Amino acid sequence: MQMLSPRQVHLDFHTSEWIEGVGAQFDAETFARMAKEAAVSSMTVFARCHHGWLYYDSWRFPERVHPHLANRNLLVEQVRALHAQGIKAPVYITVQWDYYTANRHPEWLIRKPDGAHEGGPFSEPGFYQSLCVNTGYWKFLQEQTLEVMELL
């Protein structure tokens, strides 16, 4: 019997604040069973997306939880269900692009030699405003990563 190579799925879960009912109909058992039936060996799940929203019940940054996250245990349920099926579940935490953070901390943005920041308006292509980890952003990133590690 020929073995298939590992299958990795990246749930591209960048969900704006305009989307309601995030995770409302999520069923962990069905989710993991479908992944298992599809011979998925690893599925990347999201802790924080490019919009800057969190997909778990944060105790350190509750203001960053997606405003319409109906299932506040979404991340935890995804990871546990996948692990129960023997599927790896790496967790995605955006580093360089985070619209929420860029708007609230412009001092953390990468600057060009002329002082302008990279990226354009959020509603246009190339909107990404790159964050610099050599600023106070580093401390936030560290704290959020530690929170996810403690959660899982």
- Residue 2 within a domain: no
What is the gyration radius of the CA atoms in the chain, in angstroms?
17
Q: Residue 85 — very low, low, confident or very high, per pLDDT cuts 50/70/90?
A: very high
- Residue 53 within a domain: yes
Q: What is the pLDDT of residues 37-72, one digit of tens each?
A: 999 999 999 999 999 999 999 999 999 999 999 999
Q: Give how many domains the chain has, as a whole number.
A: 1
- Residue 1 within a domain: no
- Residue 48 within a domain: yes
Instruction: Write the CATH number for 60.
Output: 3.20.20.80
Section 89-116 average pLDDT: 93
- Residue 136 within a domain: yes
Domain, as residue range, for 52: 8-151
Q: Give alpha helix (H) positions in 16-152.
A: 28-37, 74-84, 99-104, 137-151
Q: How far apart are the first and last CA of the chain?
A: 36
- Residue 12 within a domain: yes
Please say if the pLDDT value at position 149 is more than 80: yes
- Residue 67 within a domain: yes
Q: Residue 95 — very low, low, confident or very high, per pLDDT cuts 50/70/90?
A: very high
Q: What is the pLDDT of residue 117?
A: 81
- Residue 18 within a domain: yes
